[in-house]
Chains A and B, each alone.
Chain A
């Protein structure tokens, strides 16, 4: 009883918070589950409502009603606009949608700050509610109780519409089989637009009513988006009640959790999300789990399979041999004209990168250095997203491991560059090996969420583990890195840049070599036709784990370079924003292109820090415009600029049909979920996606 007494207020707060999240997350879940739109600008819709509500609130009921009407309407219109914006992307997969909606969120956030100012707006609730009531001996704000009632009513109304009306039936039918809905005379496009408008209205209403709880400010959108993503992931897309339970649970973690166990609170949320996802993907794929153990076990079938796999692999090598034997060995090693042509962009890029220090000022040179470090991070994301088919938002975790390893090594007096690089890569690889099993069993957007949780958990650790990471203050003042034995610590920007360039070139060259080797082909095969790879005896899980470890090491090298070039490290350098940028750089680059990923990272850093330098404070706006423009102008990313569709420097992979492109026009856009069974059964194309690339 005493326990209840002490925690009553946070517990009730948790309910209010959870209900708020439920209303927001229901919209997100509706948009994703029934309209197929992964809406990363959903938090911005909430912010639109919250700002409007706060602006119009004047302490009267009329102000609240007016705010509610205006905020809901504004967010509803924005949602409908989103439907129009995503319509051309219907067949391009969730990554293209993520790029678009993230860009729109950045633009929207910037515009909201322009319009309403950068400070948190005060909210004035109606005077009657601006008091406190007594709740089992505790004073409690009346508005929150009133909000609980309103949110329950809103949730009940939404549930009633969705489950009891003809309109709701049409929405559920559209999620199930849009073609058959059309065959009954309802336009799926209209349903789609209606769903996104309704999702916007829900977010807007939640924003107006919830403004006194999560107030309108610059961080609101991201905060709300992240929490509602967690709710949607925990609750799944199937049932509103599960979403409801998840929302209240998340609300309680955020309030009751903080008051009961403040030490654990930062981890609880994402740890729960990761656990749910990993368990769910394990239950969903018993075949995968069974295969992993069978291949290593002693049973004869598995051994036979292993031998078959060995044969397969050696035949890949044998195919390559005759070509080499045609001419003297050394001649054959010289690449032919086609190879030079294919490598041309890479060589041009290399030339430009070498010439950069002579062309730029010190600040720009150091920007170019950090762009290279981020480029390596993006390349590691390409390896996972484009080649292994595991779209990731969590590569900042090994990146962080590498970065903090280097910073701590330097602090301990290990300032030798190559040693730092190797040890950081090793640390990151070990980290990737540990978390790998949780990642590689899932596919598609589930991977995105699991890796997001891993990234956020790492971020929480970084913030808590002050002795190693310096916490939120970051690390600064460690000795400079020496490029080679006998040298001195590098302090000049151009020196640092050259060091970073050399390491990056070596790392990228190694990556390209591996991707172009049979190992790269095995990964591509896994992404394209996993079931067939399994059936031909390939231990797919092991390939993916190795790919995950290698990508982790690569990200670790990137992190190490980041520290070396910046001479400073803060949690923001390894946060969600960087993870998102790395993934978006890959999408901009064309998903399976290594050089595209490097260019994408360069483009993002240049836009955010260099171009925005002449228009201070508008970095996000410019980035948003860049993302939105890329989605429409370059449907196949930078790699698509070359015409033939070969993936830039990464030709070792698939020449056509990268994950982010409309490779199989018949199949509706789930290209980041390559498994056939993930796709809705409405695909009219007679050829499965796997047949597309010879």
Chain B
């Protein structure tokens, strides 16, 4: 369960994210939709500990992890699949898996599920065929799989997905959608960030529309699937408003 209250963050002087409240219960997908510059990546980076918020709190299963450095939030159970994949160019797939594999501490039974390299390769068989290849030599889809594998190997409670389908072919997009649903079913809380509503509608239980760093709409995924006009209107409003 990830809970954000009044989260405010920005870059030297300018505030990008204004007091966002948001919660992602375990086993569900919460999608944040917004245009470029709405503050989506700032939100993800702040939760992951890559940026310090100027106000507000980040709680993970009730434990306050606000403003902790990234490696601590990662160990606390927040996995990040960043925008642009950002796999290590010089490391092979095998080295990625070995480097990222961090089994939970003995006695820590609160993780939704424990991931080992073998299990990750079972979920993402394509990576098994490219074990000796370096990150830079992979295709975009393979890099996305690798970034996901890297996040999963920390056995996360929360998974942050920042535009996971950016630049991927439609068939891969559907595959990623299916993966997101599978992982949520494992008990992971997934925070999915995306500029297009299509993916969000496909797999989210709750949707939040972010406009210039503020929440402008929140609706249940089922309602959005039944009737997407409200969602589209909110996003269109964004376009004219900006």
Chain A residue numbers with a CB within 8 Å of B79 are 183
Q: Which residues of B contact A413 (CB under 8 A)?
A: none
Q: How far is the CB of B2 from chain A (nearest CB, A)?
A: 16
The residues of B that contact A181 with a CB separation of less than 8 Å are 71, 88
Check B89 for interface membership: any CB of A closer than 8 A: yes
Q: Contacting A686 at CB < 8 Å: which of B11, B48, B98?
A: B11
Chain A residues within 8 Å of B70, by CB: 179, 182-183
CB distance from B212 to the nearest CB of A (A): 13
Q: Which of A384-412 contact B (CB under 8 A)?
A: none
Given contacts A183-B82, A684-B45, contact A172 B90 (CB under 8 A): yes
Contacts of B151 in A (CB 8 A): 183
Closest Cβ–Cβ distance, residue B24 to chain A (whole Å): 18
**CA–CA, A176 and B95, complex, Å:** 14
Interface window among A129-137, A184-192, A244-252, A615-623: A184-192
B12 surroundings in chain A (CB, below 8 A): 665-666, 685
The docked-state distance in angstroms from the alpha carbon of A684 to that of B88 is: 17
Interface pair B90/A185, CB less than 8 Å apart: no
Within 8 A of A (CB), among B5-30: 11-12, 16
Does B69 count as interface, using CB distance less than 8 angstroms? Answer: yes
The residue in chain B whose Cβ has the minimal distance to the Cβ of A168 is B95
- Asked whether A684 lies within 8 Å of B51 as measured between CB atoms, the reply is yes
Q: Is A180 an interface residue (CB 8 A)?
A: yes
B99 at interface, CB cutoff 8 A: yes
B224: CB under 8 A from chain A? Answer: no
B11 touches A172 (CB 8 A): no
- Say whether B150 faces chain A, with CB atoms less than 8 Å apart: yes
Query: In this complex, what residue of B is CB-closest to A164?
Result: B95
B162 to chain A, nearest CB (A): 11
A343 CB–B CB distance under 8 Å: no
Select the residue from A166, A180, A188, A665 with max chain B CB neighbours within 10 A. A180
Query: Which residues of B30-81 are within 8 A (CB) of A?
Result: 37, 45, 48-51, 69-71, 74-75, 79-80
Given contacts A185-B71, A666-B11, contact A173 B50 (CB under 8 A): no
Of listed B51, B71, B90, residue having the most chain A CB within 10 A: B71
Closest to A687 in B: B11
Q: How far is the CA of A563 from the CA of B6 in the complex (A)?
A: 68
Contact A180 B82 (CB under 8 A): yes
Nearest CB on A from B34, distance (A): 15
Q: Knowing A170-B99, A684-B11 touch, does A182 contact B49 (C-beta < 8 A)?
A: yes
- Chain A residues in 8 Å Cβ range of B183: none
Q: Is A169 an interface residue (CB 8 A)?
A: yes
Give min CB distance, B241 to chain A, whole Å.
19
Chain A, 671-693, contact with B by CB distance < 8 Å: what is the 0/1 string? 00000000001001111000000
B71 and A182 contacting across the interface, CB-CB below 8 Å: yes
- Which residues on A sit within 8 Å (CB–CB) of B87? 180
Given the known interface contacts A180-B86, A182-B50, the answer about A166 and B99 at a Cβ–Cβ threshold of 8 Å is: yes
State whether the Cβ of A361 lies closer than 8 Å to any Cβ in chain B.
no
Chain B residue at minimum C-beta to C-beta distance from A186: B71
A665 to B52, CA, bound (A): 14
Report yes or no: B82 in contact with A176, Cβ–Cβ below 8 A: no
In the complex, chain A residues whose CB is within 8 Å of the CB of B74: 182-185
Q: CA separation between A665 and B11, bound complex, in Å?
A: 9
| A263 interface residue (CB < 8 Å to B) | no
Contacts of B11 in A (CB 8 A): 666, 684-687
A172 contacts B88, C-beta separation under 8 Å: yes
Residues of A within 8 A of B90 (CB): 172, 175-176
- Please tell me if A285 contacts chain B, counting CB pairs below 8 Å: no
Contact A169/B91 with A184-B74, A185-B71, A685-B11 known, Cβ cut-off 8 Å: yes
Residues of B contacting A170 in the complex (Cβ-Cβ under 8 angstroms): 99
Q: Which residues of B, 128-185, contact A by the 8 Å Cβ criterion?
A: 150-151, 153-154
User: B111 at interface (Cβ–Cβ under 8 A)?
Assistant: no
With A176-B88, A176-B89, A666-B12: A184-B102 Cβ-Cβ less than 8 Å: yes
What chain A residues lie within 8 Å of B153 (beta carbons)? Answer: 184
Question: In whole angstroms, what is the CA distance A180 to B90 when docked?
Answer: 13
Q: State A170–B101 Cα separation when bound (angstroms).
A: 12
Residues from chain B with Cβ under 8 Å of A166 in the complex: 98-99
CA A687 – CA B84 in complex, angstroms?
18
Cβ contacts under 8 Å, B89 to chain A: 176
Which of B11, B88, B151 gathers most chain A CB within 10 Å?
B88
CB distance from A105 to the nearest CB of B (A): 31
The yes or no answer to A488 lying at the interface (CB within 8 A) is no
B102 touches A169 (CB 8 A): no
Cβ A184 vs Cβ B69 within 8 A: no
CB-defined contacts of B51 to chain A, threshold 8 Å: 684
A177 x B86 contact (CB < 8 A): yes
Given A176-B91, A185-B74, is A169 in contact with B69 using a C-beta cutoff of 8 Å?
no
Cβ of B196 within 8 Å of any chain A Cβ, yes or no, is no
Q: Which residue of B lies closest to A184 (CB)?
A: B100
- Given known pairs A176-B89, A684-B50, the reply for A169 and B98 (CB within 8 Å) is yes
What's the minimum C-beta distance from B46 to chain A, rounded to whole angstroms? 10
Cβ contacts under 8 Å, A666 to chain B: 11-12
Q: Which residues of A contact B37 (CB under 8 A)?
A: 686
Rounded to whole angstroms, the CA-CA distance of A186 and B89 in the bound complex is 17
Q: How long is the Cα–Cα vector from A181 to B151 in the complex, in angstroms? A: 11
Which residues from chain B contact A183 at a C-beta distance below 8 Å?
A: 48, 50, 70-71, 74, 79-80, 82, 150-151
CA distance A302 to B177 in the complex (A): 50
B71/A173 in contact, CB under 8 A: no
B88, A180: Cβ atoms closer than 8 Å: yes
A168 to B197, CA, bound (A): 41
CB distance from A412 to the nearest CB of B (A): 59
Closest to B10 in A: A686
- Complex Cα distance, B10 from A666, in Å, reads 11
Q: Which of A175, A182, A684 contacts B69, CB < 8 Å?
A: A182
| Chain B residue, CB-CB nearest to A172 | B90
Given A183-B70, A184-B100, A684-B45, A173 contacting B88 (CB threshold 8 A): yes
Query: A176: which B residues are within 8 A, CB to CB?
Result: 88-91
A183 CA to B83 CA, complexed, in Å: 13
Closest residue of chain A to B84 (Cβ to Cβ) is A681
Contacts of B71 on A, CB cut-off 8 Å?
181-188
- Mask, A656-667, CB within 8 Å of B = 1, is 000000000110
Q: How far is the CB of B151 from chain A (nearest CB, A)?
A: 8
A186, B102: Cα distance in complex, Å: 10
List chain B residues, Cβ under 8 A from A681. 84, 86
Q: Assess the A184–B154 pair: CB atoms within 8 A.
A: yes
Asked whether B50 lies within 8 Å of A179 as measured between CB atoms, the reply is yes
CB under 8 Å from chain B, chain A span 151-181:
166, 169-170, 172-173, 175-177, 179-181
Q: Which of B50, B86, B154 contacts A185 (CB 8 A)?
A: B154
Contacting pair A184 B50 (CB below 8 A): no
In the complex, which residues 90-120 of chain B have their Cβ closer than 8 Å to any Cβ of chain A?
A: 90-91, 95, 98-100, 102
Closest to B150 in A: A184
Question: Which of chain B's residues has its CB closest to A692's CB?
Answer: B12
In the assembled complex, how far is the CB of residue B41 from the closest CB belonging to chain A, in whole angstroms? 8
A179 and B74 CA atoms in complex are apart in Å by 11
* Chain A residues positioned under 8 Å from B50 (CB to CB): 179, 182-183, 684
3 A-B pairs closest in CB distance: A182-B70, A185-B74, A183-B80
Can you sample 28 A-B contacts with CB below 8 Å?
A166-B99, A172-B91, A173-B99, A175-B90, A176-B90, A176-B91, A179-B50, A180-B86, A182-B49, A182-B50, A183-B71, A183-B79, A183-B150, A183-B151, A184-B71, A184-B153, A184-B154, A185-B71, A185-B102, A186-B99, A187-B71, A188-B71, A666-B11, A684-B11, A684-B45, A684-B51, A686-B11, A687-B11
**Beyond A173-B88, A184-B74, A184-B100: 10 further Cβ-contacts under 8 Å?**
A180-B80, A180-B86, A180-B87, A182-B50, A182-B74, A183-B79, A184-B150, A185-B71, A185-B74, A684-B51
